[in-house]
Amino acid sequence: MDFLKETEEFKRLLKAISLGEKGLKVTGLVDASKPYFLSTLALESKKRIVFIQPSSVPLPEIEEQSRFYLSQLSSDLSLSSLPSLSENPYQEIFPSLDSVSSRMKFFYDLIHNSSSLIVTHIFGLLKPFPKPQNLKRSFLNLEKGETFGRDRVLDILDEYGYTREDLINSHGEYAWRGGVVDVFSPWEPLPYRIEFSGDEIASIREFDPSYQRSANKIDRILLPSLREFPSSTQFLQEWEEKIRGREEI
């Protein structure tokens, strides 16, 4: 696994990167060798590497292979993947829950973890990125015993784009009755049941949606937004002010 970093060409590349040289060009890599090259470069350069894959090549393929090489080279290396919202970004098609969920996972990793390698393609970069301060509001942490009112949780789930149902069966849905809120995160195999005592979270459990039976107790959970841009009144007011400012120029 170490043969690449011993070559003179790779050593010259690392030196050029360390000196801050721009416009570096690497040629001669076949597709099968790119994941190994990128993983080794991330390890040896000590820099975050962003690889933009040609849109004609499936992103999961290089993602899976790169994860393998990163795991073999070092346990400290990690990878994040940024997919596109749709296969054809030029068509106004409502994005799938899987696409939105995967992108929100990328944004969470971006602000909380230091990924060694990021893989994406041009379609994944066409849409504007949310501001960091807005991204931090796109993830809800809830913990057993904390003071966090039921109505506040419901307002946030609605703002995040979760769909209200009488009984939840699918990812991205929520339901409530009395002091109980059920929510199905797109990141988890089972939904959560949150029980409130006044404004305090009394318990959090996983449950089977088929039988509505509670299962494992959970101390804390993380719920992602299903929208890259929030729909809160504050955000919409800021957006309108920005648009008006552009019109006045």
Domain end: 129, 148, 181, which one?
129
Taking only the tens of pLDDT, the chain with its 249 residues reads 678 888 999 999 999 999 989 888 998 888 889 999 999 999 999 888 999 987 767 788 889 999 999 999 988 888 999 988 876 666 666 778 998 999 999 999 888 877 889 999 888 888 888 887 788 889 999 999 999 999 999 999 999 999 999 999 999 999 999 999 999 999 999 999 999 999 999 999 999 998 888 888 999 999 999 998 766 555 555 545 554 554 544
Residue 10 and residue 111 in one domain: yes
Domain that holds residue 194: 139-224
Question: pTM value?
Answer: 0.79
Residue 165 in any domain: the answer is yes
Q: Assess contact for 49 and 17: CB atoms under 8 A.
A: no
DSSP 104-159: HHHHHHHHHS--SEEEEEGGGGSSPPPPHHHHGGGEEEEETT-B--HHHHHHHHHH
Residue 40 and residue 109 in one domain: yes
Residue 10 and residue 101 in one domain: yes
Residue 120 and residue 9 in one domain: yes
